[in-house]
Amino acid sequence: MKDFKGKVAVITGAANGFGFEYAKECANREMKIVMSDIDKNDLENATKKIKEMGAEVISVVTDVSKYEDVKALADKTLDEFDSVDLLFNNAGVVAAGPAWELPLNDWDWIIGVNVYGIIHGLKAFIPIMLKQDTPCHIVNTASVAGLLTTPNMPAYHTTKHASVAITESVNYSLQARNSKIKMSVFCPGFVQTDLDNSDRHRPERFKIDPNNPYYESKSYKDGLKRGHHVINTGMPIDSIGQSVFIAIEEEQFYILTHPHYNPVIGKRVKDMLEGVNPSADFFLNR
């Protein structure tokens, strides 16, 4: 997709972080924009800022973990703008902690948002794009965490490896039917966003149970502390929107923004092929 002016972009998780950056880039390219997010207040503020840039924009409160919400987002997009050309399946959350301690509620939440969020986006929007038969693009946000593994992040890695896998598989299917829909999977390392405060975006049914001792545990508190540290010391966000749009223009499938992780990704694959066991020492010594 090279021609953006007047085309329609839908963004999930548009109220903060990457989603808001995408909205700014869409506005710069004079696109019509559908901003969606679970957080009504943040979404209103973000939409106001994009409107002030002169963009034609609507906002739709959406919980991507619910298919009926994402289907309603697709319907509202068509009601308002008649088509959809660019979709960012971007909304996401993080939960850290050992697999055996992390409450099932947290597993359900993170899989619901990070994996089902993408599944719902693909199910609701691909049929519309196929019917249109016009050049379209879908960017699924995964993470470099979808290409490697680290200690204490089993739930996040699970969802991000799934995001990479689903994007690759769906992309093969679209290619096989000569579809005009192109896909990319965005795999950044740490970037300064609001991701370390994901708990504030929990849907009602996944709220923290104050009676569950896990949320007073060292595992939970250490996870939060490390989350704040890595996000706050991550790459500044300013260049991200541009990098992703260049990738869309160039039909680049894998979008990697943190090259210092490449040797770690390479080592993981090499170890697998050579039968070398993964070792926690690798991380402890870094």
Ligand X SMILES: NC(=O)c1ccc[n+]([C@@H]2O[C@H](COP(=O)([O-])OP(=O)(O)OC[C@H]3O[C@@H](n4cnc5c(N)ncnc54)[C@H](O)[C@@H]3O)[C@@H](O)[C@H]2O)c1
Nearest alpha-carbon partner for 253 in 168, 131, 156:
168
Instruction: Label residues 150-160 b or e (16+ Cβ within 10 Å = b).
Output: eebbbbbbbbb
Give yes or no for residue 118 binding ligand X (CB under 6 A). Answer: no
Q: Are 261 and 144 in contact (CB under 8 A)?
A: yes
19 binds ligand X (CB under 6 A): yes
Shortest approach of ligand X to residue 198 CB, angstroms?
6
Return phi, psi of residue 134, to 5°.
-120, 165
The residues, ordered by sequence, that sit 6+ positions from 61 with a Cβ below 8 Å of its Cβ are: 36, 37, 38, 40, 43
Span near ligand X by CB under 6 A; candidates 86-94, 121-129, 175-183, 271-279: 86-94
Could you give the CA distance from residue 197 to residue 199 in angstroms, rounded to a whole number?
A: 5
CB of 273 to ligand X, least distance (A): 26
Under rule CB under 6 A, residue 194 binds ligand X: yes
| Residue 122 contacts ligand X per CB under 6 A | no
191 pairs with which residues across the strands? 235
CB nearer to ligand X: pick between 63 and 106: 63
Coil vs helix vs strand at 86: strand
Which residue, 180 or 258, is less far from ligand X as judged by CB?
Answer: 258
Q: Indicate the residue type of 265.
A: I
| Binding of residue 140 to ligand X (CB under 6 A) | no
- The residue within the footprint of ligand X, chosen from 15, 166, 181, 256 (CB under 6 A), is 15
| Pick 22 or 220: Cβ nearer ligand X | 22
The answer to whether residue 171 forms part of the interface with ligand X (CB under 6 A) is no
Structure tokens at 275: 């039968």
Q: Mask: binding to ligand X, 32-71, rule CB under 6 A, as x and -? A: -----xxx--x-------------------xxxx------
- Assess 190 for contact with ligand X (CB under 6 A): yes
Q: Does 167 bind ligand X (CB under 6 A)?
A: no
* Non-local CB neighbours of 252 within 8 Å, separated by 6+ positions: 184, 246
Is 116 one of the annotated active-site residues of the chain?
no
Exactly one of 156, 172, 214, 220 is catalytic; name it.
156
| Single residue of 97, 188, 227, 241 touching ligand X by CB under 6 A | 188
Q: What is the DSSP letter of 116?
A: I
Strand runs (DSSP E) across the chain, as ranges?
A: 8-12, 32-37, 56-61, 86-89, 136-141, 181-186, 254-255
Compute CA 236 distance to the chain's CA centroid, rounded to the nearest angstrom: 17
Residues assigned a catalytic role: 156
Residues that bind ligand X (CB under 6 A): 12-13, 15-19, 37-39, 42, 62-65, 90-93, 113-114, 141, 143, 188, 190-191, 193-195, 198, 201, 203, 231, 234
